[in-house]
Chains A and B, each alone.
Chain A
């Protein structure tokens, strides 16, 4: 008979297929594409445009400042939602069981979802930036546009781990609620929607420790606004949060593993 050696499928094409599938799965859900791609633009239209030219700091208009806020908000939003909800839904539908019986390595699954989330995050910027330029009259240096883009994309990675953790810890029906309960309040508390000075006192005291606070500062610094910490400190705090989220995600994944697959 033919020699059947221990052959496995090449990982590259597998990752490409898996990523395409993950992308299409999200792309074809209007509720997801609408909230992740157009909600930030809508927020920008409601809040940002009216007072766009108002100067909030030397050489910084509110339009630019709020653009950075919404870039951070929308990118983290995609990470948490695309990961959290899709992982929770797939667990609910027992999709993970069939996947696990196939020779696809779990790492391919994880990477494909991460790549998809980053692509979606980039898409939100592709919509948000021109909108702010045209409708909000935001004018930045080329370098500032680029810095903002790469910082929010890179800084969003810890939130992938957070979404992953939520996806494994919450049920398919509760994931949306859990995410909104965690994400929206911290987005407000981190000053992404209006200045922190307007927040209640006790929230102002929590605020400087929130992951979105550091993420927000990376965005605001990119467009030239003053921030509390240095950029390096922001990255370090964010990386530390990322590590914590990752450990929680891994723990949740293992917990699931021992419940369902042992």
Chain B
């Protein structure tokens, strides 16, 4: 059986910029996959190719083994895109009904609205919704066709922590129905909560494709920042550090073992002050992941 979605040697150029440099990936029915990567890595481009919104410069994009523009392939897919608009002057119930009519076997309207947690807003006009509610409406529109595959491009962008958490639960609920979910995200923890498989994309290439656990073990978890009057690159030699920058006596390190790094620095007699240790954000994590690659 054809995979739900597939990219074969997909290259995508926008003028001078090569957004995808030869991506191969295959997503089977029933998988829950997170595509992870920093801004501009090529996640949205990958999704656009899979949905037929963009054409690969070379290589292939397939949905259920068909051209993604094929309406019978699209009839099996629900989509939530970044930065897409919906008519402000329609009511929530009306626009959900509209999108249901696009699909051969839609779910009940009220069920789709409930899955998005918008029961109370069913009669409201789109323009009256808050940003978070609008985002949930997009989710309702994505699931209302009862699709086999759900594509979510940065679904929680712009949401607060609580909003993100409950939204992730809604996605998980849909995935539990045995459906395929492909989502892109910046947030490692979202990928961790939802997906069994994480595809890391960086600068147009798949740099890792594994379970969240494996990915996390590769990624530096902590960022250290301190001031040291006298420190050279030499002093950091041999430390369990995945990347480092020194500027104006301020040192930034990415590491999985901040304690070991500190112990070693003290042993070497380096004087440090203003020490901060924080959880690395994903941008940091990617720096470490890509530099791992470079040194391997």
Contact = CB atoms under 8 A, between A and B. Distances in A.
A99 to B, nearest CB: 9
B54 interface: yes
A262 B71 CA distance: 17
Given A17-B98, A261-B53, A7 B85 contact: no
Contacts of A20: 94, 98
A224 B261 CA distance: 96
Nearest to A22: B87
A262 B86 CA distance: 22
Interface residues of B, number: 35
A261 B54 contact: yes
A101 interface: yes
B179 interface: no
B146 to A, nearest CB: 12
B104 A25 contact: no
A45 interface: no
Contact of B102 (A9, A24, A261): A9
Contacts of B72: 6-8, 103
B287 interface: no
A24 B94 contact: yes
B183 interface: no
Contact of B90 (A24, A92, A100): A24
B101 A13 contact: yes
B264 interface: no
Contact of B103 (A9, A18, A101): A9
Interface string B241-284: 00000000000000000000000000000000000000000000
Given A7-B105, A103-B74, A104-B102, A28 B89 contact: yes
A29 B90 CA distance: 11
B94 A98 contact: no
A95 B53 contact: no
Interface of B: 51-55, 71-72, 74-77, 79, 81, 83-87, 89-90, 94-95, 97-99, 101-106, 125, 141, 145, 148
9 contacts: A14-B101, A21-B95, A92-B85, A94-B84, A95-B87, A98-B81, A98-B84, A101-B81, A102-B74
6 smallest A-B Cβ distances: which pairs? A93-B85, A6-B72, A98-B84, A17-B101, A103-B74, A28-B89
